[in-house]
Each structure stands twice: as C-alpha cells, then as structure tokens.
Amino acid sequence: MTYKEQLKELLFDDEEILQDIILKVEPLLQINKTNGVIKFKIPAKTLTDKQNILLYIVGARFAHDLGLREKPEVSNQELIDFTGKTKDTISSRLSELKRKKKLCSSERGRFFINPVEITEDINNISTTFKKNKDKG
C-alpha cells in the first residue's frame, strides 16, 4: 500500500457519522413524513435540557435531509416551543453546546449540529435509554 493509499484510510465524511447517528436515534425520535415535525419516542423529561436540545436539532437535520424541512438549523424560539423551557434556559444551554463545539450557528439565534462532536452525546443518550428500557 502506498503512502497516499494509507492516508486515504484516515479520511471520513459527515455522512458516515450521520449514518451511525441514525441508528442511535431511530429508537428515540420520529419525523412526520408529511410535514417534518419532530416527535420523541421517549419522554423528554427523562433527558437533560442539553440532551433534549441536541436530539431535537438532530431530528431537524434529518428532516431537512429528507426534504421535509427548508433548513437544518433550529431557532431559539422553536426550541422554546418544543421543550416548554424558558428563553433563558434555552439560551444558556445553546451557549454551552456551542462553546463545546457541539452546535454551530449560521446566523444569530439559529443552530445546527456538528456531527463529529455530538457522536459521543448521542451514544450516551442511546445507551441510557437502552438501560432504562431494559430495567422497565
């Protein structure tokens, strides 16, 4: 194997990561095939605010990729409406997630996922859900 061929083994793209994320979130959320509305299959109260936000924004990304949503980004207000949390709570959690590079923003107040950085978080949510499901 040549040096260049070896280097190519190091390459990845977001699509590969997103395919893995799909497998992890399939038991956790649904997307309405008519209007792209995101619905959790698990009780939102079993998740932290940050987990709710990440999972919802993942759903928005997939709804966009399915052609059911114009943009993959989610606004503060959309998250407030979905979670029922206050503006201050959502803004604080979004700032934390953005600071940790889990989210990016294309414009002020609109956020989308960074697939590379959220993989571990999605794995944690999925694992926690599986453990709770197995107990109950």
> CATH for 13-124?
1.10.10.10
DSSP string, 109-136: TEEEE-HHHHHHHHHHHHHHHHHHHHH-
Tell me the pTM. Answer: 0.90
pLDDT tier, 121 (very low <50, low <70, confident <90, very high otherwise): very high
**What is the domain partition of the chain in residue ranges?**
13-124
Tens of pLDDT, residue by residue over 9-22, are 998 888 999 999 99
